Copies of this chain bind each other. A is one copy, B any other.
Amino acid sequence: MGWGDLGVFGQPSKETPNLDSMAAQGMLFPNFYTANPLCSPSRASLLTGRLPVRNGFYTTNAHARNAYTPQEIVGGISRDEILLPQILKKKGYVNKIIGKWHLGHRAHHLPLEHGFDEWFGAPNCHFGPYNSSDRPNVPVYNNSQMVGRYYEEFGIDKKTGESNLTQIYLEEGLDFIFHQNMAQRPFFLYWAADATHAPVYASKRFLGKSQRGRYGDAVMELDYSVGQMLAWLRALGIDKDTFVFFTSDNGAAVMSGPKQSGSNGPFLCGKETTFEGGMREPAIAWWPGHIPAGTVSQQLGTVMDLFSTSLSVAGLSVPDDRLIDGLDLSPVLHNNTLINRPIFYYRGNEMMAVRVGPYKAHYWTWSNSWEEFNRGINFCPGQEVAGVTTHTQQEHTMQPLIFHLGRDPGEKYSISAVTKEYQDALSRITAVVEKHKKGLVPGVPQLNMCDMAVMNWAPPGCEKLGKCLKAPKSQPWKCDWPH
């Protein structure tokens, strides 16, 4: 989902009444970022509070490449990383993930191995359908056992776009909240729905209901689901005891076209890029009685802050044996204070850009290669900023391109390097970058190796269902990440 997909962030169809209400009852963050312009690394960062380059969710196979966890990926989240639910457990929290995991699908990478008590969902994207011989369909898990596969037991009709997955995920969410409340247990629910990811889907009730086509239908169903969950918290009388945060894991995938992707509002490009359209996210915090209603915070925030903030809210501390990139946003949430902090825009192993205050400096620019672009893959459709949305990896480390995101949110007008404004901004940014690079110890890259043998051929529980498939012989290779 993109920044511009919510009514409150200017989507002209204004079809997200529940999220807009959530904002009216809570705090809106127009300057909130994901940790990476792609799904898996963002989600790893959300749960570890650390940049992908630290937690290992990146590749060194080539320079500045986006990588994620397709079925053939060998790696996943390392046991050396400490995930949010692992720490929450110390205070008796029951942790559940519903929806897409995306931190690796081999046995030792799965959610229940990394602090979650429950899981309903899938380890990978809902691509498919596959023929089960070249490639298995992605399994859906209930806790540690598969209960079926996408396009088989869990249907997605790619022609009509119909799937009731969001409804299943909603039901699971409401049910989990209900039972934890009954048992008076504190809980953490990571509700990771994926209806707005191509192939986009919605349930029958929502199909054709939006003005935006199928993608808008999916947005409406997510909006409805969030509304249902907030209403449920209220009905159970635990709304004042529950911190809720809504955000997305990357910008709208505008390369997928108008029928399979959304809007990044006034921002440049989308998913896969380190322009604002790739990493600025819709974000709303909600906690009646604690977060002042109807407020807007101009705090620069990231998904990694949800790690630190959630721990703070639960009265816990972040690990002190490693560098945590997340910030505790509690002072922002309670008092709308502003904390000075930078935003780092990584693509794989490269720090492409940095934001300090209103200024963003690009040290490297790249949309995608000419080869990919000429094949019709366009990360910036309808947009082109000379020297910025480049099709070769352009290095600007000696003289970064600097933009003022306040008056130029679309990154169209780089500030002339001969101005005082440029020099002042650069000296502030340089200090931040030097400090960052000094403290940077890259993690072991987890997304370098691929192997058809590691795909979801025979997930745990497949025997009971008679759905085990035969894996091919292991033939690992260095994954090819074109973007």
Binding site for B on A (CB under 8 A): 4, 7-14, 24, 28, 30-31, 210-213, 215-216, 257-259, 263-266, 268, 280, 296, 298, 358, 381-385, 404-413
Contacts and interface: CB of A to CB of B under 8 A. Distances in A.
A298 B405 CA distance: 30
A4 B381 CA distance: 20
A4 B268 contact: no
Given A258-B413, A412-B382, A413-B257, A13 B406 contact: yes
A407 B8 CA distance: 17
A4 B383 contact: no
> How many copies of this kind of chain does the complex include?
2
Given A213-B407, A407-B213, A407-B258, A10 B10 contact: yes
B404 A258 contact: yes
Contacts of A296: 7, 14
Contact of A406 (B216, B280, B381): B216
29 contacts: A4-B10, A4-B265, A4-B266, A8-B10, A10-B10, A10-B11, A12-B30, A12-B266, A13-B30, A13-B406, A14-B298, A211-B358, A211-B406, A213-B404, A215-B407, A216-B406, A257-B413, A258-B404, A258-B407, A259-B407, A263-B266, A263-B409, A265-B266, A266-B266, A268-B382, A382-B385, A382-B411, A382-B412, A383-B383
Say whether chain A's binding surface is mostly helix, strand, loop, or mixed. loop
Contacts of A408: 258
A389 B14 CA distance: 27
A419 B440 CA distance: 53
A9 B30 CA distance: 12
Contacts of A263: 266, 409-410
Given A211-B298, A211-B406, A381-B412, 12 more contacts: A4-B10, A4-B266, A8-B10, A12-B31, A212-B406, A216-B406, A257-B413, A258-B413, A263-B410, A268-B382, A382-B410, A382-B412
A159 to B, nearest CB: 15
Contacts of A298: 13-14, 211
Contacts of A259: 407
Contacts of A412: 258, 381-382
Q: Which of A28, A263, A264, A268 has the most chain B CB within a 10 Å cutoff?
A: A263
Contacts of A212: 406-407
Nearest to A411: B382
A4 B12 CA distance: 10
A212 B403 CA distance: 12
A24 B31 CA distance: 22
